[in-house]
Amino acid sequence: MTRTIHIKCTNNNSSKCYPLGTTLLEVAQDLQVKLPNRILGALVNNKLTELTYEIYHPKTIEFIDYTHPDGMRMYIRSLSFLLFKAVDDLYPGAKLRIEHSVSKGIYCEVHNTKSELNIQDVLEIGQHMHKIVNQDLPFIRREEETNEVIKLFEAQNQPDKTALLTHRGQLYTPYYKLDGHVGIHYGYLVPSSGYLQVFDLNKYYNGLLLQIPKRWEPSKLAELVIQNKMFDIFQEYTQWNRVLQVSNLGDLNHAAECGKAETLIKVSEALHEKKIGQIADMIDERKKNLKLVLISGPSSSGKTTFGHRLAIQFMVAGMKPLNLSLDNYFVDREDTPLDENGEYDFEALDALDIELFNQNMLDLFAGKEVEIPKFSFETGKRYFAGETLKMEEDNILIVEGIHGLNPQLTHLIPNESKFKIYVSALTSVNLDDHNRILTTDNRLIRRIVRDYKYRNYSAQDTLSRWQSVRRGEEKHIFPFQEEADVMFNTALLYELSVLKPLAEPILLEVQPNQQEYAEAKRLLNFFSYFKPIQPIEIPPTSIVREFLGGSSFNY
C-alpha cells in the first residue's frame, strides 16, 4: 500500500493527499493552480523551495510567480547562469563578471577575450541564450561534500567560488548543473531554461546589459533607462575596491582572517571623508548663487549621517549650514491624498504643501525672516509655534527628504540656487563573480538592525513593511535619481561583516509560522558566507554608526 501525505495549497484553498516523493510541480499541475504568470517556485511551510522539490511530510504550500520577490530572484539567478553558459560556450576561458544593477537591468563584463566585445558579439551571445532557452535544458540541483564541490570549481578555474566556500566551513554545499556547466547561486533556480523566455542583451559601456522582465508585467521587458551618473558612481567604487584588492566576499573574508580588517575600515572611511569633502568643495565653488542643498535617497541609505558630515565640511569651507525638515510642510490630514487602497499616502508629493515650501525658500533667500510651520503627527494638523529662520550671506540651507530630487518640489526656485544630492547604499562588493549582493539587501539589513535597536521593532515588523517601503521608493525616489548634481555611495566595504553578529540573532526570532520566515531564512543563509569583523576601529562619525550604534551625531 502506497503511503500518502496531506498537502494544503493556499493559492486556491485546496487540500489533497499525495504519494511520498511527489514533486511540487506535479502538485501544482494536479491542483490546477493558476497564477497571473507562470509558477516559478513555492513557499513550503513558509520556506522558499524549488518546483522539483519532493514532498515527504505534510506541507502547506503557496506557489509563487515572478511578481513575488522570491520568484523574481529565482528568475534572475537562473538568467545569470544562462548567461554564464552562453559566454563559456562561445568564449571558452573567458571570465564573466556580473557587476551590479543599473538602467533597469544588470551590468556585466566579459574579460580574457582577444578584444573587447562589440555589438555583434553581444548579439551572438543573446542569440545563443535564446537557443538554450528553446532547448529547455534542466537546472539540476546537487548537494555534495564541500571539498568535492570546491574541486569542481577548481577544475573550472573559478577561484572566486572556491575562496568563498573554503571560508564558509560547511560540510555539504548545494550547486547546480546546466548541460555540463557547474554553478553556485546561493538560492533556488527555476526548473529549466525554458522558463526564461523574457530577457534581452545589449552592448553597454565596456560590457553588456542584461535586461530583465518588468516586476508587475513579466511578459514585457523593463524599459532601458539611461543612468550615466549611477553607472559612474558604481564604477568609481569598483575601482577603489580593486585598489584594496577586494572585489568579492572571499577577498573580504580572507582580509578578516588575516588581520587586515582594520586597514580596510580605515581606508573605506577615509574614502568616504574624501568624497564628502569633494562634494562640499563643489558646492563651495558655487556658493555665490547657491542657497539650497537637497538630499534624497531611499530608506536606510544613511542620509542623516551624510547630512551631518556634509555640514561639517561646509563649516571647514567657511559656510554656516542650516537644517530644515520637509516633515514641517505636511498638509493637514484631511487634505492628504489617498492611495489605490483608500489609505492616506504620506509619501505622495501632494502630501506636502509645495507652494508654502517654495515661498518660504524664496523669502529666506531674499534675507527675510520666516516663521517655519510645524506638523503634529498626533493631531494631523499644521501649527506655528513661533520658530523662525533667517539666512545670512554665509548660510546654506540643507533640506533632506524623499522628494528632494523631484523638480516639482522646488519648481519656483532657480536651478542655480539649488544643489541636489542622491544618497544610497550601492553595494560594491559581490559574493562572487556571478552573484551580486543586492543593494536593497544592504539597506534592509541596516534597517532591521536599526529598527530593533532604536525603535523596538522586531525583524518580522521590519520585513512585513519592507515591500511597501520599496513600492514607495520605486514611485517617488528612483525615477528622479539622474536629477542629482552628484551621487554619494554610503555603502562601506566592510559593513555587512560588522552587522552580521547583530542581525543574525534578530532574524532568528522570526518563527516558522510567520509569513516573513522565508525572507529571514534567506538573509540568514546570506550571512552564513560572511566572516564577522569587530567594529572597534569604526569611527563615531561613520555612516554605519547610524545603524550599528555609537555615533557621535544626534538623530
Task: Quick: pLDDT tens for 282-311.
Answer: 999 998 889 999 999 999 999 999 999 999
Residue 55 has phi, psi (to 5 degrees) of -90, 135
DSSP string, 208-232: EEEE-B-SS-TTSBPPP---HHHHH
42/138 Cα distance (integer angstroms): 18
For residue 287, what pLDDT is reported?
Answer: 85
For residue 454, what pLDDT is reported?
Answer: 92
Return the amino acid letter for 459.
A
Q: What percent of the chain has pLDDT over 70?
A: 100
Average pLDDT taken over every residue of the chain: 94
The confidence band for 1, taking pLDDT boundaries of 50, 70 and 90, is low
Grid cell, residue 359, equals: 515661498
Q: How many CB atoms lie within 10 A of CB 549?
A: 13
CATH entry, 229-548, from 3.90.1150.10, 3.30.1600.10, 3.40.50.300, 1.20.1250.20: 3.40.50.300
Q: How far is CA 73 from the centre of its chain?
A: 12
495/335 Cα distance (integer angstroms): 41
The confidence band for 346, taking pLDDT boundaries of 50, 70 and 90, is confident
User: What residues pair up with 7 in beta bridges, in sequence order?
Assistant: 16, 59
Task: Quick: pLDDT tens for 458-503.
Answer: 999 999 999 988 988 999 999 999 999 999 999 999 999 999 999 9
Report the relative pairing of strands 381-383 and 181-183 from DSSP bridges: unpaired
> Over 70: is that where the pLDDT of 18 sits?
yes
The confidence band for 427, taking pLDDT boundaries of 50, 70 and 90, is confident
Please state the rounded mean pLDDT for residues 146-172: 90
Quote the Cα angle for 192-194-195, to 5°: 80
Q: In what order do the strands lie in the sheet with 105-111?
A: 95-102, 105-111, 207-211, 200-204
> Over 90: is that where the pLDDT of 36 sits?
yes
User: If one looks up domain 4-65 in CATH, what number appears?
Assistant: 3.10.20.30
Please state the rounded mean pLDDT for residues 363-391: 93
Q: Is 459:510 a contact under the CB 8 Å cutoff?
A: yes
For residue 319, what pLDDT is reported?
Answer: 93
Task: Quick: pLDDT tens for 56-80.
Answer: 998 999 999 999 999 999 999 999 9
For residue 334, what pLDDT is reported?
Answer: 92
Q: Mean pLDDT check: name the lowest of 1-10, 114-123, 255-264, 265-274.
A: 1-10
Q: Structural domain boundaries of the chain?
A: 4-65, 229-548
Name residues whose C-beta falls within 8 Å of residue 96's C-beta, 6 or more positions apart in sequence.
83, 84, 87, 88, 108, 109, 110, 433, 434
